[in-house]
Structure 1
Amino acid sequence: MFDFFSGLDFWVATSLVLAFGFVLAFEFINGFHDTANAVATVIYTKAMPPRQAVVLSGIFNFLGVLLGGVGVAYAIVHLLPVDLLINVNTGHGLAMVFSLLAAAILWNLGTWFFGIPASSSHTLIGSILGVGMANALITGIPLSEGINWKKAIEIGFSLVLSPLFGFLLAGLLLYVFLRFLPLSKMHKTPETRRAIDGKKHPPFWNRLTLVLSAMGMSFVHGSNDGQKGIGLIMLVLIGIVPSQFALDAGSTTYQIERTRDAAIYLQHFYQANEAKLAQQLRTGHNGNGSEMPAKFKCEATETQKTIGDLLLVINNVRDYHDLKPDTRAQVRRSLLCLDDTAKKITKLPDLSSRDKADLEKLRKDLTATTEYAPFWVIVAVALALGIGTMVGWKRVVETVGEKIGRQGMTYAQGMSAQIIAVLAIGAANVFSLPVSTTHVLSSGVAGTMVANRSGLQGSTVRNIVIAWVLTLPATIALAAGLFWLATKFFV
């Protein structure tokens, strides 16, 4: 499994081990930072003992990473411009990985120390944006091309809208409970349950719902957040040992043929639309007055040559093991370039909606053998996140359970917030969108407090909002500064 270490220079192997350590440390911290939110309600409502809750949550986080796929992983990775991704094996690429991870870890530890439910997703995205912007400034690329802004906007919408949906839908679900089951014991807090009924735990069905929704929350958290670590480890592996990980060596013959067919289709598309595309490709304009990036490493005018060179290499290949290591790295660069230029062509105003849809489909085939993760990488991230879940949960549990509302949380409030959070994060996983477990659940709890007319504690809500607002600019600045220092003194 680790035979890729053989033959590596000492400093390269050291860089690889350090990079692994940084990524797994980030996931470990993510575990005890974010997963406290998954078990906050079930612990606070006395539905489960704390130790049992965090152990089960760790197990379900592990399973979530194991079964979650890699869609969110590469959604995060592709925030970076493709020129940085295809050249990640340079010193700049390694500086990028270490800088964004260091920035994310520092911010996560700071907010955890003060018990503020900040978002690890938010933190990581800000760090990626920071190194992307800094790389653009350092290399002379326009800031507009330093980041995949289309993907950044999609992720930004998911980060902004998911807490709003959490707030509104959790409040609405609690209102339904209050409207149709006004006398139910689910509307008691743990304190009133103990004082009036003399019982420590919630009623059976409420307790079962709380436990199941908490474990569901842990599973979707692992699926969403664990993938971010998977994506980062793949950046590290491709950067340091591209000969081994540039392509999925386990790709089937069918997957390789799909990739080859996509390249052939793109070649035919360029030939059929040569007259339409020629002016834009020659002048570097995309047809609506904006410039194609001058410093971009995958020139659109070279697409036909890139396709031709790629087909010469993989035309009769049935197994990527048949390719030399250096050739695999070149195939990966060609596929990423073709994917990126196809994406740019879809933005041309004169292109029909049918052509755009066809190009979007072939882009998935072009990257079918480059967007992957070995099983051992998934297991390593799953273990780091799962073990981290079992540490340091208490600070955030107290904040979510007691400090958001003016009154303690009722069983109905806990169920409402958790059910909505599971559905919201699960939907985000389906669409490969990273969201914040922290903000979805915290906003859900706040929504139930408003619906219950319990009121909100201004100081806690203010701290959460401040953390939400400051996370992006703080991590952008921190990651950009670290990246600049790394490239100035170590690259």
Structure 2
Amino acid sequence: MITPVLIVIVCLALIFDYTNGFHDAANSIATIVSTKVLTPFQAVMWAAAFNFLVYFFVKDHKVANTISKIVQEHFVTMNVILAGLIAAITWNLITWWFGIPSSSSHTLIGGFAGAGITNAIYMGSNALSAVNMHYILTILAYIVLAPFIGLVVAYMVTILILHICKNARPSTAERWFKRLQLVSSAALSFAHGGNDAQKVMGILYVALFTSHIIKAGDAMPNWIPLACYSAIALGTMSGGWRIIKTMGSRITKITPLEGVSAETAAALTLFFTQQFGIPVSTTHTTTGAIVGVGLTKRLSAVRWGLTINIIWAWIITIPISALIAAGIFAILRVVL
């Protein structure tokens, strides 16, 4: 049944996807802007196009399926979904304002789980019984694994490229790597759209199921992926320049060669995890890849103080989002 709350949830979900787009735009275009391959305007248009193109190629939404199962069905209500979305949008905007490359994915997961746990407590049940621990533990593990995989792959790709191109003329090599950055950033934008838009698809699917509009096992309505990919593409077009500055130059200085390595490594990691339905963070993965590129030069090439601050943001994202969602859920129980 279509209710006013469901309409609000759909609108907020698409708003979250929009904020995800401009929050995570830096992931795929920070290096291509910092190396001056494209202007900021050209870069966001390039990234937005490939964020949306995923709609025509990806039909198996494994990541969406994982997200839909984070909170156990018995504890999912419209208030739980609404509180999770409001918390996720709030934390996204806070971290965007301060230029912190935190994870939109983990914000959404933390908000949804936090609201579900709070509902379980109000119902007199065990708090942890509200969430599917198999999925939660996998997500927590990949908070560490995703950036580490991105780091290792980026390091190996950079070393391999340097070995292959050791006899090339610097000016010729740079010209070719600037062209290749168009390909690698497109691949990363494609992977970002396919990974991140699916997380909201999972939330919307749960909302429709909770509203008894669809039944368990029903195929996802086609309007959901179309709307989600469109929203994330529009958000990407809006930029997110504060985070772009952090990702593109403040972690380590990036050359076109290194940009290709970092973007390729991040894209490969995202494609790999997407095949297994693991909702990893594009932000974490890309940051790890940029650090891996920096390590090929020397340890001091990476600004470790800033990197450690970013890691702290990763650690606190899920619990803070969960706490915000818990507070919002408590308010919604009184208001609605």
Answer whether TM exceeds 0.5 for this pair: yes
CA distance in 2, matches of 1:117, 1:94: 29
Partner in structure 2 of residue 219 of structure 1: 190
The offset of 1:184, in angstroms, is 4.3
Task: Answer yes or no: is the 8 Å Cα contact 1:66–1:382 preserved in 2.
Answer: no
| Pair 1:448-2:269 in alignment | no
Question: Counterparts of 1:201-216 in structure 2 under 5 Å?
Answer: 203-216=174-187
Aligned in 2, Cα 1:427/1:102: closer, same or farther, shift over 3 Å? Answer: same
Aligned in 2, Cα 1:490/1:218: closer, same or farther, shift over 3 Å? Answer: same
1:44 to 34, 49, 55: 34
Question: Counterparts of 1:333-482 in structure 2 under 5 Å?
Answer: 369-370=217-218, 372-405=219-252, 408-453=253-298, 455-482=301-328
| Pair 1:63-2:34 in alignment | no
Report Cα offsets for 1:107-150 as digits up to 9, x if no partner. 00111111111110111111122112112211111123121001
Partner in structure 2 of residue 148 of structure 1: 132
2:162 to 165, 174, 178: 178
One-letter amino acid of the structure 1 residue matched with residue 178 of structure 2: R
CA distance in 2, matches of 1:26, 1:455: 35
Task: Answer yes or no: is the 8 Å Cα contact 1:72–1:432 preserved in 2.
Answer: yes
Aligned in 2, Cα 1:18/1:208: closer, same or farther, shift over 3 Å? Answer: same
CA distance in 2, matches of 1:116, 1:54: 19
Partner in structure 1 of residue 71 of structure 2: 80
Report Cα offsets for 1:249-269 as digits up to 9, x if no partner. xxxxxxxxxxxxxxxxxxxxx
One-letter amino acid of the structure 2 residue matched with residue 462 of structure 1: I
Partner in structure 1 of residue 203 of structure 2: 232
The offset of 1:234, in angstroms, is 1.8
Report Cα offsets for 1:451-488 as digits up to 9, x if no partner. 2115222332132112111111111111112112222x
The offset of 1:66, in angstroms, is 4.6
Partner in structure 2 of residue 279 of structure 1: none
Partner in structure 1 of residue 7 of structure 2: 17
The offset of 1:35, in angstroms, is 2.1
CA distance in 1, matches of 2:148, 2:330: 36
CA distance in 1, matches of 2:208, 2:318: 27
The offset of 1:154, in angstroms, is 1.8
TM-score by length of 1: 0.65
Unaligned segments of structure 2, at least 5 residues: none
CA distance in 2, matches of 1:152, 1:173: 31
The offset of 1:158, in angstroms, is 2.5
Task: Answer yes or no: is the 8 Å Cα contact 1:175–1:452 preserved in 2.
Answer: no
Partner in structure 1 of residue 123 of structure 2: 139
Partner in structure 1 of residue 80 of structure 2: 96
Identity of aligned residues (%): 33
One-letter amino acid of the structure 2 residue matched with residue 459 of structure 1: G
Is the partner of 1:115 in helix, strand or coil? coil
Task: Answer yes or no: is the 8 Å Cα contact 2:143–2:281 preserved in 1.
Answer: yes
Q: Which stretch shows the higher mean deviation, 18-27 or 76-85?
A: 76-85
The aligned length equals 334
Is the partner of 2:302 in helix, strand or coil? coil
CA distance in 2, matches of 1:183, 1:95: 62
CA distance in 1, matches of 2:35, 2:56: 29
| Pair 1:111-2:95 in alignment | yes
The offset of 1:181, in angstroms, is 2.9
RMSD: 1.9
Aligned in 2, Cα 1:123/1:66: closer, same or farther, shift over 3 Å? Answer: farther
Partner in structure 2 of residue 258 of structure 1: none
Partner in structure 2 of residue 283 of structure 1: none
CA distance in 1, matches of 2:177, 2:7: 46
Report Cα offsets for 1:65-96 as digits up to 9, x if no partner. 453332111201101012124xxxxxxx1111
- Bigger CA radius of gyration: 1
CA distance in 1, matches of 2:271, 2:27: 16
One-letter amino acid of the structure 2 residue matched with residue 82 of structure 1: E
Task: Answer yes or no: is the 8 Å Cα contact 1:72–1:227 preserved in 2.
Answer: yes
Task: Answer yes or no: is the 8 Å Cα contact 2:68–2:205 preserved in 1.
Answer: no
CA distance in 2, matches of 1:462, 1:402: 16
The offset of 1:225, in angstroms, is 0.5
One-letter amino acid of the structure 2 residue matched with residue 246 of structure 1: I
CA distance in 2, matches of 1:106, 1:183: 51
Q: Find runs of 4+ consecutive structure 1 residues off by over 6 angstroms.
A: none
Unaligned segments of structure 1, at least 5 residues: 6-11, 86-92, 187-196, 248-331, 333-368
CA distance in 2, matches of 1:445, 1:185: 24
TM-score by length of 2: 0.93
CA distance in 1, matches of 2:69, 2:33: 37
